[in-house]
Structure 1
């Protein structure tokens, strides 16, 4: 799928006949031939033109996070650069810690848009992004976070969680502090903490329903081309001991560790399915998700790494086989290792590097039974040569596309022309998803 289709240029020439006759001339049999026999035509000097070349099908997505834009002008620049690099999809983040970077009646306005949580927006970044993307032939998928409830990096951020302005929706943790995920000790996650966010527990029906409503509301109100989920996982295996979860499980987690893990895994899967179904009740647009780069570390014998399915309760392949995930986008933000499927530092003193090639090939194999797609994650910060190398290897492994993290990193590398004139030289369209038709 990565080879260019050459255009065939046909020169104008007459069709030759037996005896040298041309089209429109009288037909005479050659000397010595039966005068009653039908004249025979020589094969044409050129073939009929082939059907029009079909565009290459390859997803080329660009993650644009909530720090990458701050005005309509910056959004226009984002889309111009994405087009220059021959991307065809933009994952545009409009929801971070359960706040909105667009006018919403469900989530409070983000402080990054309204200067305070729950203010009144003066403009609509999502409307601008959709318009500017479509004007350049780009798909725009709304990127929304799943279970990351509120940023918890420092005390100032934590103090920003407060009631909204009159007439604006409150943050769910203001109205429902009991929805916060609990630790093994049975206490709600603190703020600040070392997990970036105070996560929400999918054991609460209200948490699942709220995400589904937000996704459906975006699809109903904006002509987006898809929904992209992120943070649709637990922060780790030591979380989930809230009252709602324990009551539903009905057993002692310590005495039933496997079932307890499966129970939490099923809650996340249910959340994805309910979000998918709510979207499709409005319009059948694809649902993609940024997922953990290692589905199951035991498949490689890696003991020091974390698995999406075991440590974060994220069953990506199960979502696809269930028919409620269209594209898995593994966050494979690592180098291609010198030795395939190794898990060693590339240089002395560096952190271990799980092999990009091995992880991507594993996701392709795991998603193949469902027929759903894989867009391999590429970390722009690894440099131009590594990005190009990963695109070439990914095509060999049979991925359906790529997703680059993230816009600002590519801008710092001035890499849009590098991609558009290099591995993305040939324009492409996102792969067809026949199951949505």
Structure 2
């Protein structure tokens, strides 16, 4: 009965979206967080075989692709431990069940390969300071807590790198840069965990560090803490861009920068904790100075919530992007929960609102598993309506690399029930993937919207790349055009147009 109700609600939301939405945008980030800490999304539990882990991850990616996503944000360093071989921190216990035990494969290399096969951007997600998320956890001998105990503090029964110790800061920076240098990631991503959320009745134990490193330069410990985080954010951006200028750098902060009663620049909210005052994250400074390429404020509240209204906040953030991308952190994990989220149209209404605001460049969803459980009806809505057409990842003009050469259609042919489009581009072109457009009839039409966008696919490592059109109907006439995009999503010029009539066993070129 519950499943039937969800389907009915999904159909009702479908009608609402079609009426208000029109054509989906051609460019929009559509990403999902895949959390590994505590095995939230993947692997489903510790100690699975390599084959089981791989099968689970492939299934996750296929599900995200079917929803219309064009990026995944994968947690590769959850608790100062890793999903890749590192010289600096131990293997994560969320893989094998025991920290420091090497699995029989390289999870990060595998995940990257599978994501890129599906032309999904891969944002490598790091938690910079968190080192131990429970006092019960046994840390391996190789863990930095055991090698450099003077760098760490205990707070709220958890452990953190002390952001005020220069050696600790440098170590964390290089932990992240190890991945940037070694792997073909598309972005470095960090979430809201800088200084930890405040624990009632407990002070973060860094007063002696402030005396040693901050008192001569800062009048109070709060400004010093903010500078510790800001200097880290700035330096990481500098290193990433020096190593690989095309790799993006984004941060997903808590949804409220400051409340208006503390600062007239702040939002009309009454959040219990905020970025600036409690997490010591001066997000607006980072964006103003251009130290990040995107921000993803976590707006996990409903429209109309008294202390933190989604509509108020999304309109506040739109004024504070300073030319950088803003992706909204959405909360499918809350769908169906008691209260406002029992209304299954809440999340679709938020997406409709986002699309009325030109400064909003897309969404990230927390988290992947939600679409297979409580948010199944919303998943259907995404698949059938909001994301019924593919979208290209938005361009970042400041990531300036050469545009790709023109792509050409070499041949269109029939293989079984499917139409196959064979694509070529000059060997020296920096094309990363191809965009395929299909128009009904013998003429090409509009390419600036998603209406005629059929799909994208990664460029093959050889002369010809093959796109399979599974939705072509027998008896119809179509015109195909292909373009190439580089890895920062700049689109090249359109190539040749090829018009064909689909017959039962062959293609007739017109």
Shorter-chain TM-score: which interval?
A: 0.7 to 0.9
1:355 aligns with 2:318: no
How far 1:418 moved relative to its partner? 2.8
- Runs (4 or more) in structure 1 with deviation over 4 Å come to none
| Structure 2 Cα separation of the partners of residues 365 and 252 of structure 1 | 32
Map of 1:435 onto structure 2 = 398
Q: What is the correspondence of 1:35-74 to structure 2 with a 5 Å cutoff?
A: 56-66=26-36, 67=39, 68-70=41-43, 71-74=53-56
Map of 2:23 onto structure 1 = 4
Q: Secondary structure at the match of 1:216?
A: helix
| Structure 1 Cα separation of the partners of residues 71 and 228 of structure 2 | 29
How far does the alpha carbon of each residue in 1:96-129 deviate from its partner, in whole angstroms, 9 at most, with x for none? 1100012222210011123321122211221121
Do the aligned partners of 1:85 and 1:419 also contact (CA within 8 Å) in 2? yes
How far 1:264 moved relative to its partner? 0.7
How far 1:78 moved relative to its partner? 1.0
**TM-score, normalised via structure 2 length:** 0.64
How far 1:156 moved relative to its partner? 2.6
How far does the alpha carbon of each residue in 1:352-399 deviate from its partner, in whole angstroms, 9 at most, with x for none? xx11111122122111x3x11111011002324222111111122331
Do the aligned partners of 2:151 and 2:168 also contact (CA within 8 Å) in 1? yes
Map of 1:248 onto structure 2 = 213
Map of 2:326 onto structure 1 = 374
Q: Secondary structure at the match of 2:224?
A: helix
How far 1:150 moved relative to its partner? 1.1
Map of 1:147 onto structure 2 = 129
1:319 aligns with 2:286: yes
Map of 2:263 onto structure 1 = none
Q: Secondary structure at the match of 1:291?
A: coil
1:364 aligns with 2:318: yes
| Structure 2 Cα separation of the partners of residues 144 and 271 of structure 1 | 13
Q: What is the correspondence of 1:403-414 to structure 2 with a 5 Å cutoff?
A: 403-412=364-373, 413-414=375-376
Map of 2:348 onto structure 1 = 388
How far 1:214 moved relative to its partner? 2.1
| Structure 2 Cα separation of the partners of residues 127 and 301 of structure 1 | 44
Q: Are residues 106 and 176 of structure 1, via their aligned partners in 2, closer, same or farther at CA, if it must alter by over 3 Å?
A: same
Map of 2:139 onto structure 1 = 161
How far 1:223 moved relative to its partner? 1.2
Do the aligned partners of 1:58 and 1:400 also contact (CA within 8 Å) in 2? yes
How far 1:309 moved relative to its partner? 0.8
How far 1:222 moved relative to its partner? 1.5
Q: What is the correspondence of 1:83-94 to structure 2 with a 5 Å cutoff?
A: 83-94=65-76
Q: Secondary structure at the match of 1:57?
A: coil
| Structure 2 Cα separation of the partners of residues 105 and 252 of structure 1 | 34
Task: Note the aligned Cα RMSD (angstroms).
Answer: 2.1
Q: Secondary structure at the match of 1:99?
A: coil
Map of 1:289 onto structure 2 = 251
How far 1:252 moved relative to its partner? 11
Do the aligned partners of 2:187 and 2:248 also contact (CA within 8 Å) in 1? yes
Unmatched tracts of structure 2, length 5 or more: 1-20, 44-52, 261-265, 336-343, 401-510
Higher strand share: 2
How far 1:303 moved relative to its partner? 4.3
| Structure 2 Cα separation of the partners of residues 142 and 56 of structure 1 | 25
How far does the alpha carbon of each residue in 1:137-175 deviate from its partner, in whole angstroms, 9 at most, with x for none? 1111111111112112xx432xx1231xxxxxx211111
Q: Secondary structure at the match of 2:122?
A: strand
| Structure 2 Cα separation of the partners of residues 118 and 126 of structure 1 | 16
Q: Which has the larger radius of gyration?
A: 1
| Structure 2 Cα separation of the partners of residues 246 and 397 of structure 1 | 46
1:178 aligns with 2:139: no
Do the aligned partners of 1:146 and 1:229 also contact (CA within 8 Å) in 2? yes
Do the aligned partners of 1:288 and 1:328 also contact (CA within 8 Å) in 2? yes
Q: Are residues 123 and 296 of structure 1, via their aligned partners in 2, closer, same or farther at CA, if it must alter by over 3 Å?
A: same
The worse-fitting range, judged by mean Cα deviation, of 293-302 and 60-69 is 293-302
How far 1:410 moved relative to its partner? 1.3
Do the aligned partners of 1:291 and 1:316 also contact (CA within 8 Å) in 2? yes
Map of 1:424 onto structure 2 = 387
Do the aligned partners of 2:192 and 2:254 also contact (CA within 8 Å) in 1? no
| Structure 2 Cα separation of the partners of residues 429 and 303 of structure 1 | 36
Map of 1:36 onto structure 2 = none
Map of 1:122 onto structure 2 = 104
How far 1:242 moved relative to its partner? 4.6
How far does the alpha carbon of each residue in 1:17-75 deviate from its partner, in whole angstroms, 9 at most, with x for none? xxxxxxxxxxxxxxxxxxxxxxxxxxxxxxxxxxxxxx711111100000212211111
